[in-house]
Amino acid sequence: MNEHQNETITNKIILEFAKTIEMFDLTPLEARLFAFLYLNEKAYTLDEMSEALGKSKTSMSTSVRSLVEFNLVTRVWKKGVRKDLYQANMQLFKSFMPTYINKWIDATNHQLDSLEEIENKLQQNEYEDNEKLTLLKKRLNNIIDFHHEVEQSFRDMKED
């Protein structure tokens, strides 16, 4: 396999893999960058990534920072190398799934707070009761239940 063939196939894989990564709420560039780092395994500088992906250094800086925040990429040191080096975490499932699941759990929790605050207001007999109010309360409770169910689903997913 020559250099050219290798690169062609590698690019195909990157392209496909990146599509999957995007489903975890990463931007297209972040996804492509991670796929690139993952496939090549070794640590890259911002300039090298910029060169390899044909995107600006600024883009690399912001994208790689996101990837570090998501725990998908780690900054590494090599003696003698001045520039920052970044390298993909190689345990894909552990990197992606737990973070994604937690994101859902956190988000639903936060939403629950907001909704329960509204619910409390409704409970404090500030308002004259009538049919509309009763129905509204019921709907709100259903929505809150829904959030609990969603949260629980993702919590269960976490177990396995």
Contacting positions for DNA (CB under 7 A): 27-29, 45-47, 54-59, 61-65, 82-84
Residue environment code for 101-124, b if the CB has 16+ CB neighbours within 10 A, otherwise e:
beebbeebeebbeebeeeeeeeee
- Considering beta carbons, is residue 10 or 59 the nearer one to DNA? 59
SS3 69: helix
Q: What is the dihedral of CA 126, 127, 133, 138, to 10 degrees?
A: 10
Strand blocks (E) in the chain? 73-76, 85-88
Asked if residue 93 binds its own copies (CB under 8 A), the reply is yes
Residue pair 124/99 in contact by the 8 Å Cβ criterion = no
Select the binding partner of residue 142 from DNA, its own copies, none (C-beta < 5 to 8 A, by kind).
Answer: its own copies
With beta carbons less than 8 A apart as the criterion, state whether 79 and 66 touch.
no
Task: Report the alpha-carbon distance of residue 5 to residue 35 in Å, rounded.
Answer: 18
Q: Among 51-59, 63-71, 72-80, 93-101, which window interacts with its own copies (CB under 8 A)?
A: 93-101
Q: How are beta strands 73-76 and 85-88 bridged, if at all?
A: antiparallel
Cβ at position 6, least distance to its own copies in Å = 6
> Three-class SS of residue 36?
helix
Write down the least CB distance from residue 32 to its own copies, Å: 14
153, interface contact from its own copies, DNA, none, CB < 5-8 Å by kind: its own copies
139 contacts its own copies (rule: CB under 8 A): yes
Q: Residue numbers of the site for its own copies (CB under 8 A)?
A: 1, 5-6, 9-10, 12-13, 16-17, 19-20, 23, 38-39, 41, 90, 92-93, 96-97, 104, 107-108, 111, 114-115, 118, 121-122, 127-130, 132-133, 135-136, 139-140, 142-143, 145-147, 149-150, 153, 156-157, 160
